[in-house]
Amino acid sequence: MNQVDYLRISLIDRCNFRCLYCMPEGAELNYILKQQLLTDQELLTLIQEVFIPVGFTRFRLTGGEPLLRPGVVELVKKIAHLPQTQDLAMTTNGFLLAPIAKNLYDAGLRRINISLDSLDSDTFEQIIGKNGRGRWQQVWEGIQAAYNVGFDPLKLNVVVIPGVNDHEVLDLAALTIDKNWHVRFIEFMPIGNGELFGDRGWISSADLRDRIRQRWGLTESQVRGNGPADVFQIPGAKGTLGFISQMSECFCDRCNRVRLSADGWLRPCLLNETGQIDLKSCLRAGVSTAQLQEQVKQLLAIKSEINFKQRDSGTVGSYTRTMSQIGG
């Protein structure tokens, strides 16, 4: 396996969207109470005194929707200015981004991923669920603001859903031609809502690449990211196309990350609940950060077994948390 040096940090489990693939429609989600969330100081303590000493240097802030976290700009600044931080990124739905894009950039955030599952406002509203009307334009303004501020790379995440937005693949891919934008097509993962799209809720990356190749041609890109995406480029395009193929093409052997939930659970694998550690409860119970380092080291030592592509999910029946609650 790759060295595990990348921590995805969920700042909050709440979101102002309710996307079909992230929050099961009709399900009542039990949101984490404020006092159960990691405080800013607890999070910084874990980063500085537990994760950095065992080799973590790359951090991504996720949610829910991370921009709903109070004081998020100041928290970004504190993490970005740690001397050991080599990379700090954020994944957001972009709805609240436009007014604070510059503040985030000035605080030290340099890379940002924005979810954009459709260029059609009606389809977009269908995907993001209730209360979605009129939100596409505000997300688009957030994307433009991030681009104008100077975020590079600016990545757009697209979860491709058959019969919903798969007819837009070429239009979304075309966004990379004239701008240095990086569009990433993601296969839907049945986390917490496996019945949502029946037997086949995803379209393979190979299929998407074939469609794009037939339209423009497609070459492997010289640009490589830190994550699991296979990166390609339309000939002559300024940006790139990434394909994250967790359903059709297992990439467990390339995994370099673990996930920290908003309430302090460290999860070694998105698709496996084995071996999770409740770091928040340990910290509040007075367990030393040196002891927590040892627990994290032990978890990293078994991560290659947990990540085996034929792995069990580590759960009985369905996953205990949805994608939004994990911080995927």
Q: What is the pLDDT of residues 8-48, one digit of tens each?
A: 999 998 888 877 777 666 555 667 777 789 999 999 999 99
What percentage of residues in the chain have a pLDDT greater than 70? 80
What DSSP assignment string belongs to 40-74?
HHHHHHHIIIIIGGGT--EEEEESS-GGGSTTHHH
Q: Judge whether 58 is annotated as a binding position.
A: no
Q: What is the pLDDT of residue 235?
A: 97
Q: Cα–Cα distance between 51 and 33 in angstroms, integer?
A: 25
Beta carbons of 240 and 173 less than 8 angstroms apart:
no
Q: Judge whether 121 is annotated as a binding position.
A: no
Q: Judge whether 155 is annotated as a binding position.
A: yes
Q: What is the pLDDT of residue 108?
A: 98
Q: What is the pLDDT of residue 315?
A: 47
Residues 6+ apart with CB under 8 A from 52: 82, 84
Q: Judge whether 22 is annotated as a binding position.
A: yes
For the cut 60, the answer to whether the pLDDT of residue 195 exceeds it is: no
Radius of gyration, alpha carbons of the chain: 19
Q: What is the pLDDT of residue 131?
A: 61
* Alpha-carbon distance values, 227 to 89, 251, 255, 277 (Å): 12, 10, 8, 23
Q: What is the pLDDT of residue 121?
A: 92
Q: What is the pLDDT of residue 310?
A: 47
Q: What is the pLDDT of residue 190?
A: 59
Q: Give the single-character DSSP code of 47.
A: I
Q: Cα–Cα distance between 277 and 219 in angstroms, integer?
A: 42
H or E segment and range at residue 42: helix 40-46
Q: Judge whether 259 is annotated as a binding position.
A: yes
What percentage of residues in the chain have a pLDDT greater than 90? 61
Q: What is the pLDDT of residue 104?
A: 98
Q: What is the pLDDT of residue 3?
A: 86
* pLDDT tens-digit readout, 42-89: 999 999 999 999 999 999 999 999 999 999 999 999 999 999 999 999
Q: Judge whether 31 is annotated as a binding position.
A: no
Q: What is the pLDDT of residue 256?
A: 87
- Lowest mean pLDDT of 182-196, 206-220, 276-290, name the range: 182-196
Higher pLDDT, 56 or 134: 56
Q: Judge whether 15 is annotated as a binding position.
A: yes
Q: Cα–Cα distance between 163 and 3 in angstroms, integer?
A: 38
Q: What is the pLDDT of residue 58?
A: 97
What is the value of pTM for the model shown? Answer: 0.89
Q: Judge whether 64 is annotated as a binding position.
A: yes
Residues 6+ apart with CB under 8 A from 195: none
Higher pLDDT, 84 or 311: 84
Q: What is the pLDDT of residue 189?
A: 66
H or E segment and range at residue 323: helix 323-326
Q: Judge whether 282 is annotated as a binding position.
A: no
For the cut 90, the answer to whether the pLDDT of residue 156 exceeds it is: yes
The arithmetic mean of pLDDT across residues 295-318, rounded, is 67
pLDDT tier, 240 (very low <50, low <70, confident <90, very high otherwise) = very high
List phi, psi (to 5°) of 112: -145, 140
For the cut 50, the answer to whether the pLDDT of residue 203 exceeds it is: yes
Q: What is the pLDDT of residue 314?
A: 44
Q: Judge whether 91 is annotated as a binding position.
A: yes
Q: Judge whether 255 is annotated as a binding position.
A: yes
Higher pLDDT, 314 or 136: 136
Mean pLDDT of the chain: 86
* pLDDT tens-digit readout, 257-270: 899 999 999 998 87
For the cut 50, the answer to whether the pLDDT of residue 323 exceeds it is: no
Beta carbons of 98 and 92 less than 8 angstroms apart:
no
* pLDDT tens-digit readout, 267-306: 988 767 778 999 999 999 999 999 999 999 999 988 877 6
